[in-house]
Structure 1
Amino acid sequence: MTRIGILRLNDKPQFRDKIACVVAASMGIEAFFFRPQDIDFDKRMIRGMHFLDDRWHNGLCEFPDVVYNHLPLTDEQKNIFLRLADEIPFTTHRIGNKNVVLKKLAADGKFKQYLIPMHRIRAGKDLVALLERYGKIIFKPANGKRGQRIYTIEQVGPDQYTFDHLLRSDTCSTGQLIDRIEEEIQRNPMIVQPFIASETIHGHSYCMRIHVAKGANGTWKLVKFFPFVSNNKQESVSHLSHGALSTTRMDATRQTPLLLVNVQKEKVLQVSGEATRLLAITVKIKNQSADSIEIAPKLGEYETDGRIVTIADQFNALSGTYQSGEERIGIVFIPTTESKIRPGRLHVFYETASGDKQLRIALNERAD
């Protein structure tokens, strides 16, 4: 049996790690959670955790066939990762700084029209020339992370510029600006991009980000999209480390005074060795009534293309009795022959003091 090690930096397994183990088991694959400090290279064993019978179990594991990993943060973690990667394939690798990523995307061509121009700054005078071209620019480290040292620079008059960082704004001359740029590029490689103004109707800066990955046959797939919205009107850059707000949820919600059903995620899974696939739907259910509610043993059924499909299985069972205010999150698995998510409806059956009821949630009505 193929073994996958889920290498994380957090001390305890997260909900996503549970999902990974359950999905792996449905495909006939063993998966276990572990951390860098759990590895014994001398004995070639790992103190890992398996998810079985709805709970985590500690135990010793042999080295896996492949490692599904986070990226290391400290030098100690990096050394452990590199030592293990000498023996076992890792799924996630650093691909370079912003400039390297931009060049790779430009060479691929798929997103070329959406790429924002980027310029490496090697001297203060280089930035002044770009200010004349763009009027207002973003100045930041090529290897930056977490929104650190992101500056907004604008020419506001002859020999007069504003240099903004977070909520601080300084005014300087050309000479003072060049000196400050020279100081920054001595610390790290720096880049410039034209400033793109984007504000909400309430005047808060925002940006839209997408997470894509190459899937089967090298085709690009959308993983998720999410906005960053600044919580301060004075700041021109929206970033989580600056207190910006964000959401990654692309969900569908249906509710009545009695029940709320929220579909948070859908994914098509290939079952190893079989032609059948599974549609995995992450669902949250909450009892909003003052009385208890009973959810049907199989939760309900799924409708697509005029056909009714029975729910095959559940992870973190959603069926059973819900007391007033109680909520649960789980995953339902539905047999499908489709290779991608199609429009459909999830029917949830439940019973209240007044009788049997049904709630229908439309999903992916705009899907191709």
Structure 2
Amino acid sequence: MIIGMLHHRKDPQKVVKSYAFAAVAKAEGAELLYFTPKAVDFSQNVIHGYVYVNGVWEKKDSPFPEVVYNAGSPEKLAKSHNIIAKLKELIPFTTYSIGNKMRVYQRLKLEGKFAQYLIPSEVIHSTRRFFDLFNTYRKVVFKPVNGRKGQGITYIEGVRDRYNIRSCEGNCVLSFEELRDLVAQKLRDESHLLQPYINCKTKSGISYDVRLHVQKDGAGKWLITAIYPRFAPEGSIVSNINSGGSTNYLIPFLKQEFGDEYFNIKRYLEHFSLQLAAHMDEVQQKYFNERIDELGIDAGLDDLGKIWVYEVNWRPGCPPTFYLELDVVRNMIKYAMYLARERKDMYNNITGGTSIGVKPFRREVYA
């Protein structure tokens, strides 16, 4: 079986995770073909890609793979939209975008099943609307709609006629006029949303959230890859690892914070992560006829122990602290092989098993 790894970078040596994917694919009895959109030749049904052989990436002209793991930057791959769209008609892809924060929020709110776990969120279009909501909540989080890795998040708290500000740029106290100007500037730069602040802190007063990392396995079922707390640096509310946050193992953390209730909290988080992933998968299929392969759910526990969903990420990173890189890759490879087998079985059921692989799909579509 050939598993394609589609990326925007031409040289696989510049993509660190390509080595792990090639090694795990081989261990699972498959071959990884690394390629870019420009390497696809539809006239010959060939891809001019790379395979990893004896520690070296070698060029290889290969038949189309049975499945494609689309690993590159969506923004950079968008330049080759027509090629990728054509390829998707022929070959199953593993990974699909779930959209930005507000689109995910709106779909989940509309569906209703998990609406109670969503933090009220609204895209802000004016300083007037900002202050209308701020005066309701008094403690808010203001962040870019398309933000990534915790960047651009600002915490704002009203204290009498002053406003305490915390962000990655630093902490300060502003007057009403200064805050109004700051909000106006941020709105000019990019689209922002506002949420009430959820108090999720350790006993020692450190802000934290919990990353729920789930993937699909070789049977197309959701499994938990990892659940771990992430702690904000002192004086910050942003716990993202890329913004200076830190992490720890789940069970010691739960025992320290929740005592004898740690096991129930652990089961609560596990059950919630699998249920939300399954629901989001259903929603993605309903709206876009696509399936989700992996999610990183960022959640908080308030003073009453209720889960609140901060955001859902469709390409979660995995901190090296836990040595889970190969687990993540193994799950991805096994799921890719599952999709390929599913497509093969579907075709055999239609044709009576007279042919195998994706090549007949290409001839049928582009005859």
TM-score bracket for the superposition, by shorter chain length: 0.5 to 0.7
Per-residue deviation at 1:90? 2.5
The answer for the alignment partner of 1:60 in structure 2 is 61
The answer for the alignment partner of 2:104 in structure 1 is 101
Matches within 5 A, 1:173-184: 173-184=175-186
- The answer to whether the 8 A contact 2:47-2:62 is kept is yes
- State which of 6, 10, 15 in structure 2 corresponds to 1:11: 15
The root-mean-square deviation of aligned C-alpha atoms, in Å, is 3.6
**Structure 2 SS opposite 1:78:** helix
**Structure 2 SS opposite 1:127:** helix
Q: What whole-Å deviation, never above 9, does each CA across 1:207-245 have from its counterpart, x for those lacking one?
A: 112234678999865443232212x31212211222112
Structure 1 residues 222 and 183: alpha-carbon distance in aligned structure 2, compared to 1, 3 A threshold: same
The answer for the alignment partner of 1:200 in structure 2 is 202
Q: What whole-Å deviation, never above 9, does each CA across 1:329-359 have from its counterpart, x for those lacking one?
A: 999x9xxxxxxxxxxxxxxxxxxxxxxxxxx
- The answer to whether the 8 A contact 1:121-1:190 is kept is yes
CA distance in 2, matches of 1:187, 1:68: 34
Per-residue deviation at 1:46? 2.5
Matches within 5 A, 1:262-273: none
Q: What whole-Å deviation, never above 9, does each CA across 1:40-75 have from its counterpart, x for those lacking one?
A: 537632222157xx8667333222233111242553
- The answer to whether the 8 A contact 1:124-1:178 is kept is yes
* Residue correspondences, number: 244
Per-residue deviation at 1:198? 2.3
The answer for the alignment partner of 2:234 in structure 1 is 233
Identity over aligned residues, as a percent? Answer: 27
- Listed as ranges, the gaps of 5+ residues in structure 1 are 251-328, 334-368
**Structure 2 SS opposite 1:209:** strand
The answer for the alignment partner of 2:126 in structure 1 is 123
Per-residue deviation at 1:83? 1.6
- State which of 162, 165, 177 in structure 2 corresponds to 1:163: 165
Per-residue deviation at 1:190? 0.7
CA distance in 1, matches of 2:102, 2:326: 40
Q: TM-score, normalised by structure 1?
A: 0.56
Structure 1 residues 136 and 176: alpha-carbon distance in aligned structure 2, compared to 1, 3 A threshold: same
Q: What whole-Å deviation, never above 9, does each CA across 1:96-118 have from its counterpart, x for those lacking one?
A: 11011112223444433322111
CA distance in 2, matches of 1:143, 1:330: 29
**Structure 1 SS opposite 2:23:** helix
CA distance in 2, matches of 1:97, 1:330: 27
Matches within 5 A, 1:63-102: 63-72=64-73, 75=76, 77-80=77-80, 82-88=82-88, 89-102=92-105
- The answer to whether the 8 A contact 2:22-2:52 is kept is no
Matches within 5 A, 1:278-297: none
**Structure 2 SS opposite 1:185:** helix
The answer for the alignment partner of 1:39 in structure 2 is 39
| 2:151 pairs with 1:151 | no
CA distance in 1, matches of 2:167, 2:230: 18
Determine which structure has the larger helix proportion and give its number: 2
Structure 1 residues 134 and 20: alpha-carbon distance in aligned structure 2, compared to 1, 3 A threshold: farther
- The answer to whether the 8 A contact 1:204-1:229 is kept is yes
Moved more, 97-106 or 6-15: 6-15
Q: What whole-Å deviation, never above 9, does each CA across 1:313-337 have from its counterpart, x for those lacking one?
A: xxxxxxxxxxxxxxxx999x9xxxx
- The answer to whether the 8 A contact 1:71-1:92 is kept is no
- The answer to whether the 8 A contact 2:164-2:171 is kept is yes
CA distance in 2, matches of 1:216, 1:104: 28
The aligned amino acid for 2:106 is K
The answer for the alignment partner of 1:303 in structure 2 is none
**Structure 1 SS opposite 2:198:** coil
Matches within 5 A, 1:250-261: none
The answer for the alignment partner of 1:22 in structure 2 is 27
CA distance in 2, matches of 1:16, 1:70: 11
Task: Name which structure has the greater RCO, CA cutoff 8 Å, separation 6+.
Answer: 2
- The answer to whether the 8 A contact 1:6-1:17 is kept is no
Determine which structure has the larger strand proportion and give its number: 1
Structure 1 residues 102 and 17: alpha-carbon distance in aligned structure 2, compared to 1, 3 A threshold: farther
CA distance in 2, matches of 1:64, 1:199: 48
Q: TM-score, normalised by structure 2?
A: 0.56
- The answer to whether the 8 A contact 1:229-1:244 is kept is yes
- Listed as ranges, the gaps of 5+ residues in structure 2 are 252-324, 331-367
The aligned amino acid for 1:14 is Y
The aligned amino acid for 1:32 is L
Structure 1 residues 180 and 120: alpha-carbon distance in aligned structure 2, compared to 1, 3 A threshold: same
Per-residue deviation at 1:205? 1.9
Per-residue deviation at 1:37? 7.3
